Every structure is written in C-alpha cells, then in structure tokens.
Structure 1
Amino acid sequence: MLGAPVNVIKGIGPETEKDLQSLNIYTVEDLLLHFPYRYESYHIKDLAKAQHDEKITVKGKVHSEPSLRFFGKKKSRLSFRMFVDEFLISAIAFNRAFLKSKIKIGETVLVTGKWDAHRAQLTVLEIQIGDRRRGRAIEPVYQTKGNLTVRAIRNYVSEAFKQLETLDIPDPLPTKIRQAYKLPDYMTALHTLHFPDRPDKLKHSRRRMVFQELFYFQIKMQLFKYLNRESGSGLALPIQQEVIDQFVGQLPFSLTEAQSQVVNEVLKDLRSAYRMNRLLQGDVGSGKTVVAAIALYGVATCGFQGALMVPTEILAEQHAESLHALLSPFNVSVALLTSGIKGKRRKALLSALEAGEIQIIVGTHALIQEEVKFNKLGLVIADEQHRFGVEQRRALRSKGEEPDVLHMTATPIPRTLAISAFGDMDISTIDQLPAGRKRIQTSWVKHDQLHDVLQFISRQVKQGRQAYVICPLIEESEQLDVQNAIDVHAQLTQAFKGISIGLMHGRLSSEEKDEVMEAFKNNKSQILVSTTVVEVGVNVPNATVMVIYDADRFGLAQLHQLRGRVGRGNFQSYCILISDAHSEVSKERMRIMTETTDGFELSEYDLKLRGPGDFFGHKQSGLPDFKIADIVHDFKALDVARRDAERLLETKAFWHDEDYAIIRKDLENQGVFTGERLD
C-alpha cells in the first residue's frame, strides 16, 4: 500500500496528482514523507514568559467594549482591552469589523497574534470566542504548488492514514535499534509528525525519522567501503619504502608531520589488496601537491601510470611543471594534455601514453575523452574534485583496471559534511602549514578608503612585489552595483603610470590567459586585475597583495581561496577586503575573515551560515537531499548513525537476520550489491 500510486487516496484526481508530482510525491509513502516545514503552535502562552515580537496564543476575558474606526478605502481597526491572568492588555484587529458585535464584556476569548511587550499590545491574527479552540493546538504547514493548499494536503494525509490503519506496515528500523534508542515505531512517528498534539511527542518522532534517514544513508556509505575492502580488487602495488625515503630525502624541503602522516596513509592504500578511495583535504598552501607527487612516483616505480585531473588549463600547466621538476631527476616522464594541444603533437602524445612511454599525465577533462588510452593505469588523482561531475570522475577511473583513486581538495570541508558527502571514502587531512609560512594579514576597508589601498599597493610594487586585484564581474552590470574587471583595469592604468597592469577574465581564449598569466608570473606585469579565474592553484610566490573588490559578494570559502594566492613566498603578505557590507551577515563574514586564516574554522562558520546544500554550490558534490534531517543541526545523530552502521556491517546478523531484511532489500534495489557506486 505504501508503494501504491498516490491517486489511490480518496479525493486525489488527475489534476491534484499532477500538482503532487511537481512536489516529487508519486506514492502514498512519498505523501507521508512530505513533512511539514514548520508548525503553528496554538498552545496557551504564559504572558509573563512571552518574548517581544513573539507570536503567541493567550486566553483572557474581555474588559472593554470594542472600539471600531475606519480609515483609507474599506480598511478598519478594531481594538479592545482584555485581562490575561493579572495583565491588562490591548488587542488590535485590522479589517475585522464584523467582530464588533460578537465581542462582549466578560466573554472568554482565545487570541493568537504578535506580542508587543513595550505597548502591552497584541496584534490579532486569529480570534475565537469561548475557552476551547476549534482545531489542533499544533497545526502543520506544508510546502505547496499549483492549486494545492495546506488544508488540502492535511486532508489527503489524514485520508491516507485512515486507509492504512487496518494494514500491518513493517518498520524500516530494526527492533534492536528502536529499543536501544527508545524510538517510536514508524507509523506512530509519521502520524505524530503530521498531527502532533504535544511538543515533546513531536520532538521524539522527529528524532526517530532523522535517525532512520541518516542511518540508511550511512549504511549505504559504509557498505561501499566494506565491499571495496572485502573485494580485494585493488592492485596491491609493491612500493618499496627505501625508494620513497630516497625520493623524499631529495626534496628541497622537509615534510611537515601532517604531510608525513598523509603520505603513510596513501602508501598503505596503494600497497593494499583493496582499491583506494581516499579524500585528501588540506588548506590552501598546505602541500597537497607534494603528497600527490610522492604517490605518483611510488606508482611509477612499480611500472604503472598515474593521471592527475585538474579543473583548469592554468592549473594543469602549473602542476605539470611542478611534477616535472620533482620527478624528472628520477627518470619519471611527465606529460601535459589539455584541449589546447592539437594535431600531430596530440597524436604523438596519445600514442606514447598508450604505449606506456609516458608514466605520469596531467590534464583537464581532456583526459576523459574516448581517444585517451592508457597502457597500465594504476592511480587516478582528481584535484579540486568537487568541481568535476560524478560522470567525469567515473570516466577517468574507467580508463584502467580498478585503479586506486585519490581525490584532493583545497576547500576545507567541515567534518559534518565530510562524513556525509564523502562517507564512502577514507579521509586524510593536512592541517599544518609548512614551516616559515607567515600569516597573511587581512584587513577590511570601505570603498571610500580606496585611495589608501592604492598607495599601499604602490609601496609594495616599489619594493619589487606584485598584487592581485579581484573583481566579481567582467563588465558593468545594471543589475549589480559592483566593481568590474574592465573598469577597474582602466582606473588602475590611469592611477599607476609606468606600471604594467594585466587583465584576466573568463572570456579570454586559453592562449590569451596563458599570455597574461605568464607575464604576471615572470613579473613583466606587476598588478593583475582579474575575476575569480585565479581562485584555484595559481602560484606566484612574489605576489604579496590580494585586493578583493565588493568582497561581500563572495562566499567565505571563495574569499579564503583567493587569499591563498598570496603568502606563497618568504615575504609578508596582505589581503584587503573592500566592502561597504550593509547587512549584519555581510559584516560578520568580513569580521571573521580578518580574525582567522584557518580554512577549517572558516568552513565550519560558512556551513552554519549557508547550510549544507549551498556549501559547494554544486549538486554533484554527492550530498543527498534529506527529507527531514539537517546534517548541521543533527550532526550528533549523523555520527551515531555512522558508528552504528560500521559496527552492524561487521556482524553476521546484518547479512542474515530477518530484522535487517528491509534494509538489505532497499540496498539491493539501489544496486549497491551489484557494483554500483557512489562517487
């Protein structure tokens, strides 16, 4: 019955069914899982505990004759005084002239409205005469579409429960888990969420449904890890430790403790009999590229190839240069493949790759084109992996026979998101910056202080340093009053005579971008005006100033990424945020940027500010659309669900007991047991 089409419910015809389907309600169970997004409470409030501007319901006795006056066109204001316990308050009702004859002195009334504590006044939203309220004390409010109303959805849900009441509906949560956490059964919890009579029961039922949703999700996540481990389908590469030690010993710097720890975790995976599926996260400038180089070198020493996929051509070129410098002394060949490489050069490169003559290939999504074939692919690394879609990552992985996979990101991911969006991966974190890195000094200034900012840039340039100036838009926009790259470039060219100023934005061709970037890297241009195309990975150690116009237009994670473009050399570096920041949220974001350079701290704050759905700005991040759970608010439940799921998969009971049959069936229907994987 739960899986039956929603039109089996009495009163739902073809038009209503279409409206329900626009809300992703196709079955009876979908309807029951369309939870209210808020509740209106009509419980009687103790006026002594009421907050100013709070919506409350009070019960009292009318103390004065209602006064009615008209104003404007057909508008009216009805007012009367009433005793609520020992308080004498005013009640104001707009456009309810018909109530004048119904409200009498001495009558008991129930009034719901907005409480003004300063004036001892209630602005009436609803009024009922008598001491008992018609309707429920807690009313659910639903999302609606088309011709659907909240009342209609309430009625359909009520009818669904009537039609289900004689059926024996199995509970999706195992009995042992329900008993351990004292959770109500499935149908009771569902009914309470739609028709609550007490706040404590509502809270208890929500707790049950939140846990069920997170538990099912974590079972799926942990099962991917479990099956991967049990399959033994990895390459088990015989990487020699002394070879790695020799390579690390030749590096021009020492690894931090965090880097050494992560290198050991990655090498352990590469040597193991199961396929690596690991996320490496580290703050801007923490040294993830070196970890990638060590892993790629280890793979190459075993006769396998490695591929590093990055989101932009600029970043691909930079990584290829870095890896060539590190690996060529050890006779490991590194090649670059982007869409800009064409003709005979491309053909020769692809031929060498297929023949196994190229050991390490770095590229953009050009790597996943059908014509790209490997000889013996052993390791796939996706840098800034959340920028690639699920299908793109899968396409690269399919170029080899179960290659190990390492995902890297410089967007620090809060633990709450990491164990949700990436719950099927092992997670390594570099939470240490290399020794000697100076903290970037961050300032927030208003637009009227621009003259001071330009003088500061001038002083830095005279000392031989360089500066980025970032703008949100390329050209002037009527919709947004923000600085744009083309105008700012013109203004700065006027302000800085004799200084070369580059202009970079997304509309330039690859060749033009390369030319602009090359000039800046070689200090042929001292100031680079750009949109956010420089956000990820660009490395110019001589650049010490990052100026961001209209900084309040950017998210915290993006501001942090941009700030990370400076501070990459031995010089003191600065980030200047230009913003008039009118809203409290904008001011708070500017404040926290000046107070911390810790990306993980910023990411936690960003998550609370923006919510999990918008954290990446990409649907392909792998984060599911939970119906009731909120991974920020319900993080403790998420953590408990993860631990329970891990433990359960190690028991025989999960695989055989009838109590877990519903979960096994659900996982089977999703293809988890037949090799389908989440990315």
Structure 2
Amino acid sequence: MTLSLDTIEVKQISGVSAQKQAELHALGIFTVKDLLEYYPFRYEDYRPKSLSEVKHGDKVTVEAKVIGIPVLQRFGGKSRLSCKMMAEPWMFTATWFNRHYVREQLTAGRQVVISGKWDQKRSQITVTDYEFPDRGEGKTGTLQPVYSVSGKITQSWLRKTISQALLQFGDLIPEILPQPIMRKYEFMPRKRAITTIHQPEDSREGQQGRRRMVYEELFLFQLKVQAFRTLNRGRMDGMVHTVDNATVRQFVRSLPFELTNAQKTAELEILQDMRSSYCMNRLLQGDVGSGKTALAAIALFATVRSGFQGALMVPTEILAEQHSRSLQAMFEPFGITVALLTGSVNGRKRKDLLASLQMGLIDIVVGTHALIQEDVFFRELGLVVTDEQHRFGVNQRSVLRRKGYNPDVLTMTATPIPRTLAITVFGDMDVSTLSERPKGRIPISTYWVKPDKMDRVLNLIRREVVQGRQAYLICPLIEESDKLDVQNAIDLHIQLSQAFPDYRVGLLHGRMTPGEKDEVMRAFYDNEVQVLVSTTVVEVGVDVPNATLMIIMDADRFGLSQLHQLRGRVGRGEHASFCVLVADPKSEVGRERMAAMTETDDGFEVSRRDLELRGPGDFFGTKQSGLPEFRLADMTADFAVLEQARGDAAELLRDGTFWTSAEYAPLRSFLQKEHIFQGDLID
C-alpha cells in the first residue's frame, strides 16, 4: 500500500509524544498532511539592520557589542536589566525585563544579536529575543514563522516538529497541479513551495511559495465546484417548462412598469434554464429595490402555464402577506390562484388549504417556514423561489426542494457581491445580477451627523411626520448594556414618545413574539404608527412606500452591507427619502464605513468596500453560506487569483482528456475524495 501524508498520524514524527499528539489534535492537526498545511500567519524578521533604517516604535534586529556594565534593578518581585551597547555608529541601551540571569552573559566586548522594539527618543531597545553568535545559535539572519499555538505547544517546538516532518516525509509530498499550469505561471514544485512557506530563505522566496499554494487552494475549490456542475447537468433531470414566449410577453406587458435591461437579461437566463432538461439552480442577486420580485413572478407564471405549481418562501409572515397580495394582484387577470401559508393559518382553514394544494387546485403558495412542515404536499411542484435565502439554513431550503421531483430552484438575495465571489460562495449556482435601478426610483440622500446634533435629527423627523410621512429609527441594542455605550431601543422609544406626544411611536425588537412584531409592523404599514423605533429586525421587512426617513443610531456599530440594507427600507415611494447616520466613530474602520455610505448608494460598491473592511468570512457568515475556510487564500486579497483559477478549472474540464489522461490522475483522485462523483447537491 502506498504511503500517503493524509494517513500518516503525527505520532509517527520523531519527537512527538502522546501528550504532544493530544495537543496537536486540539489544534486540528491529526496527520502529517494537516501539520505541513498548518501555515504561519506571519514571520518574525531576524535579519540585522542598521538603526538608521528603523522608525521609532518599529521592531528591529541589530548586531551589537557590549560596551557598558549591566545594571540590574529589582522592584516588587520583578527586575529590569539595562546595558550600554554599540551598533556602529549608534550607541544605545538594551533593556531586558524579568531576565536577570542575562547579566552574567553580558561581558565587555562580547557580540550579541538583539531583537526588540526601538525607542528612538530614548535610544533604547526593549529586548524580546537575543542570541550570542559565539554559541552558534540560529535565528540571526532568518525569517522565523509565527504560528497560531495554544496549550503547551511553543513556537520553537512547532518549528522543529514541522522541520522534522519535512525531513522524514517531505519526499511523500505529491505534485497535484498539472504541468501546463505549472509552466503557465512558473510555479515552484509543491514540495519546495510548502517547505519555503515554513522555512523561507528570504521574503521573495516565501512570497513565491505562498503564491503557488494560494493558487492551488483556489484552483482545487473551483475544480470541485465546476466538476460537480458538469456532472450534475447530465444527471439531474429537472422539470421541463414548455411555456412559449408570446404567453410570457403577455404577462410581462401587464406589469405596471417596464423591465430594465438587466431584468430582461435575467429573465432570458431564467426562462432558458426552466425550458432545459436539467434542474435549474440559479441565484438572482440585486440591490435593494432592483426588481427581483418581478422576475420571481415571471418565473412563477411560466411554471403555472407549463402545468406545474410554484412555491415562494420568505423569512417573515408580514413579508409573506405582502408578496401574497402583490402576486394575487398580478395573477388574478390570468386566473392563477395564489394562497398564503404561514404559522398564523391554522385549524379548518389550514386543512382546506393543504388539501387544495395537494389536489393541484392552488397554483402558487407563498409562505414562511410553514411551507416545509411534514404535512405540506404538492400535486406537482415545478419551481421553488426562496427570498433572502441567507435567512434560511441549508437544510430548510433543501426540505422545500424535496417536496417535488427535482423542481427548478431560484434563490434571491439583496446582498449583491462580485460575480466570481457569488459563484464561489454559492457553489453549484448560476448567477444572474440586477445592476440597474428601476426607472423612476428616487435616489436616497445620506448624511452623517455627530450625536451632539440630535436636535437637528428630531427637527427632520418632525418635518417629515407633519407632511404625513413616516420614519424609522434603528438601534443596535434592545436594552442598556454595561459593556457598550450605545443608544438602546427601549430608552429611545420612551424619549421619542415624549418628544412627539401628538404622534404614535412604535417599538419593534427581536425579543417580541412573531405575532407582536407583525402587529407593530402592520400598524406602521397602515400609518397608524408614524415613527418606528426598532432593532435590525426591519432589515428584511415590508415595503412601506410612505416611509421617507431612516435614522440609524450608533451607525458605526453596524457593518456596511447591513447599513445599506437598512437604508433600502426607505425610498420606495414617490417622495424624496433620507438616511441619517448618527455616529461618532473612534476607529478608522468606523469612519471609513460612514464615508462609504455618504459617497455611494450603489449596493455593489458598498459590498466591495465591506469585503475590504471585513473580509468574506464575516461578510457571509461562513457556516450559513458554505463559504470555504482556506488555509492561505483570502478571497478578497486574492480575488484576481480566484478569477484565474476559475477560468483554468473550466478550461481543464472542457478538455476531454481530463477524465482519462494519467497526467490528471491526482486531480481526479482529489475529486473522488471530495465525493464529487456521488452527486450530492451542493447547496
């Protein structure tokens, strides 16, 4: 049997005891492969420099000579050791804390290499590391990797263990990338790349090693996703929708607005998928108010006219009611029946609805999580549409899909992200993007004010409410917190109720029951409540065209995309709308968020900046989205590499020799281990 790094346990490395093995397991390191792919997150630079090259406060390594008598001071069980040193042409003081034993080694004229923080004002280095060249110690002149460690595992032990693993098992490191790609990018061999990441001779070599392994991570992931899609298309027989263009055009002409060019393109992509024999799995992404619901309606219309049923799942009851009302208005002239199924539908009404759905008397059902309960059956489910899909777990979405025989799937999100990243994050999905605003939509004016200008904000609320409009005020917390100095919803509700005694001020937060939330939101929708104080539960909510003012308290506490989603709650009617960010950010990131919000209202640009500030893991919520956790790659910083890897993977899979040639055997083996050939749907 051929030895493989992913089957050799770490205990087989010389110097790894049972205790150390357990500590490595705690770090997620079980095999030699795991250890060699446990990469450093930064490097300590032990290459000596001249102090004239170093800025105040920087860490530096210098070669120096002892020229003074070491002075030891003790205070409260601690010690401070100082000694004059010479690093031509600089004379400086080297200071050690709590290392009194070093005094005996600092003999006049002895050479010492010192690393530490340079205090230019005091001509002092606070020593963190040191070594004596006459002992033959080995850090000087090197870049030393720094790993994430815990427990009793030290940096030096982990470095030695990785070095030992490379010595023992380095020859077993397989080459995975095919030679055409190796030549195309002039990559170093895999063994050398891994070695040089752990033991770089210089920064350039380390960068070359990282470049190769980053590409490999992204390439293998793209190969996995695209191989699945290639195989899936031939395997997953879907519903073939047979509706003709003339019938669809008749419905589109009945809509009270004209489709944008982006909507027309997305419509063609969706209908082409629906008419094909394979199962559609398409993501429709677009900014708040870009017209995703209209496209969902066109797809549902095509489904019903092809003889199937459709389902639309949304995260809240009130949103389900709104979609149900708007779809009924669209479909009524065409004799298409729409039903609403939420947790509030119960008793006899629910039984009748479920029976009608199972018999095929209902064409389209709109609902919440109630759609995925065990007693919900369809006669022939042809299309599943999920709105704000990130609000549902993977299992919830797949349960609804399994209520039919491979129905087409359209998922919608108002968190627009770069196309390649969308394809990567959402796995086996084609992506349609709505990048235009519908005609007639008025841009939202966004302002950033400091908390001491709150009187102006109250005057703005008063102005809008007097004109018959409505306002949202968003807070990051429900109740007062000892840890965070932020405005909370309950206090603000009391203050605003006192400030506007002639108007009704509502309160909405996550600890209310679904029924209570719906009652408040319905009152706001009907203009029985003029000012709504809320936490972020309104981020995904109903359209209230009469709401023209969004005020976000402590706005620097929110992520950029969340701020943009909240802003999108207004600007949905015929009146000019405003978003006011109340914040006094102490951090640079907070100030950048405020600047971004006032400079652009383009959701794609906002998302791009959010990715830069937060990184994709925070942006998507890794567990919910299926975003891979790469060991080296960063999908924001390495976006250009991701594009290259995606193109290379697609080209390779189009080449018929990929499935048979010995050259690609390692890649086919990788796909085999990833269970790509089993055909489980990536969700």
With normalisation by structure 1, the TM-score equals 0.95
Tell me how far apart the structure 1 counterparts of residues 554 and 49 of structure 2 sit (CA, whole Å). 45
Q: Give the alignment partner of residue 433 of structure 2, picking from 419, 422, 429.
A: 429
SS of aligned partner of 2:620 = coil
Q: For each residue in 1:103-157, what CA deviation from the matched residue of structure 2 results, as whole angstroms up to 9, or x when unmatched?
A: 3554433221122345554332223334896224122222223332222222332
- 8 Å CA contact 1:68, 1:78 repeated in 2: yes
Residue 338 of structure 2 aligns with an amino acid whose one-letter code is V
Q: Which moved further from structure 2: 155-164 or 317-326?
A: 155-164
> Which stretch shows the higher mean deviation, 28-37 or 124-133?
124-133
Matched, 1:57 2:68: no
CA distance in 1, matches of 2:130, 2:16: 32
Separation in 1, partners of 2:651, 2:277:
22
Q: Are the counterparts in 2 of residues 31 and 157 from structure 1 also a CA contact under 8 Å? A: yes
Shift of 1:405: 1.1
For 1:388 and 1:130, the matched residues in 2 are separated by 61
Deviation string, structure 1 residues 539-584 (Cα, Å, up to 9, x no partner):
0000001111221221111111111100101111111112222222
Within-5 A mapping of 1:36-185: 36-70=40-74, 73-84=77-88, 86-130=89-133, 134-136=137-139, 137-165=142-170, 168-185=172-189
2:539–2:569 contact (8 Å) kept in structure 1:
yes
Going from structure 1 to structure 2, the CA distance change for 1:46 and 1:179 (only over 3 Å counts) comes to: farther
How many angstroms apart in 2 are the aligned matches of 1:414 and 1:657? 35
Give the Cα–Cα distance (whole angstroms) in 2 for the partners of residues 656 and 535 of structure 1. 51
Q: Root-mean-square deviation (CA), in Å?
A: 2.1
Would you say 1:554 and 2:558 are equivalent positions? yes
1:303-452 equivalent positions in 2, closer than 5 A: 303-415=307-419, 417-452=421-456
What is the DSSP-based 3-state SS (H/G/I as helix, E as strand, rest coil) of the residue aligned with 2:605? Answer: helix
Q: Contact 2:70 / 2:81 at 8 angstroms: preserved in 1? A: no
Identity %: 53
1:596 aligns with 2:634: no
CA distance in 1, matches of 2:69, 2:622: 60
Superposed counterparts of 1:583-662, under 5 Å: 583-662=587-666
> Cα offset for 1:40?
1.2
How far the C-alpha of 1:420 sits from its partner, in A, is 2.0
Quick check: 2:84–2:91 contact (8 Å CA) kept in 1?
Answer: no
Structure 1 distance, partners of 2:73, 2:678, is 73
On the 8 A contact 2:378/2:403 being kept in 1, the answer is: yes
- Distance of 1:128 and 1:12 partners within structure 2: 26
| Residue 12 to residue 447, structure 1, CA distance change in 2 (3 Å) | same
- Structure 2 Cα separation of the partners of residues 388 and 192 of structure 1: 43
Instruction: Show the counterpart of 1:535.
Output: 539
Q: Contact between 1:483 and 1:550, CA under 8 Å: does it hold in 2?
A: yes
* SS, match of residue 497 in structure 1: coil
Shift in Å, 1:70: 4.9
SS of structure 2 residue aligned to 1:25: coil
Residue aligning to 1:28: 32
Q: Distance in 2 between matches of 1:132 and 1:215?
A: 46
Unaligned runs of 5+ in 2: none
Aligned residue number for residue 16 of structure 1: 20
Report the Cα distance in structure 2 between the residues aligned to 1:544 and 1:44, rounded to whole angstroms: 62
1:38 deviates by: 1.8
For 2:126 and 2:9, locate their aligned partners in 1 and report how far apart those are by CA, in whole Å.
44
Distance in 2, matches of 1:132 and 1:578, equals: 61
Q: Which amino acid aligns with 2:12?
A: V
Q: Deviations over 1:226-281 (max 9, x none)?
A: 12333362323112111111111111111111111111111111112222111111
Alignment correspondent of 1:497: 501
**In the alignment, does 2:223 pair up with 1:219?**
yes
Separation in 2 of the partners of 1:47 and 1:436? 63
Q: Give the AA of the match of 1:150.
A: Q
Mapped partners of 2:412, 2:288: distance in 1:
12
CA distance in 2, matches of 1:577, 1:377: 45
Residue 454 of structure 2 aligns to which amino acid in structure 1? L
> Post-superposition shift, 1:45?
2.3
1:585 Cα deviation after fit: 1.8
- 8 Å contact 1:80–1:92 — kept in the other structure? no
**1:615 counterpart SS class:** helix
Mean Cα displacement is larger for which, 46-55 or 219-228? 46-55
**Runs of 4+ with >6 A deviation:** none
Letter in 1 for 2:159: R
Distance change in 2, residues 1:22/1:127 (3 Å): closer
CA distance in 2, matches of 1:129, 1:19: 32
Correspondence list, 1:175-254, <5 A? 175-231=179-235, 233-254=237-258
Is residue 269 of structure 1 aligned with residue 273 of structure 2? yes
Matched residues in 1 for 2:100 and 2:388: separation? 63
Task: Find the aligned partners of 1:627 and 1:674 in 2 and give their Cα distance.
Answer: 26
Distance change >3 Å, CA 146–CA 76, structure 1 → 2: closer
Check whether the contact 1:417–1:612 (CA below 8 A) recurs between aligned residues.
no
Judged with a 3 Å threshold, the aligned counterparts in structure 2 of structure 1 residues 75 and 356 are, in CA distance, closer, same or farther, namely same
Aligned residue pairs total: 677
Change (3 A) 1:653 1:465: same
Compute the displacement of 1:362 (Å).
1.1
Choose the corresponding residue for 1:259, options 256, 263, 270. Answer: 263
Assess if the C-alpha contact under 8 Å between 1:277 and 1:425 holds in 2.
yes
Over 3 Å counting, the alpha-carbon distance change for 1:593 and 1:129 in structure 2 is same
Query: Structure 2 CA distance, aligned partners of 1:258 and 1:22?
Result: 50
What is residue 472 of structure 1 aligned with on the other side? Answer: 476
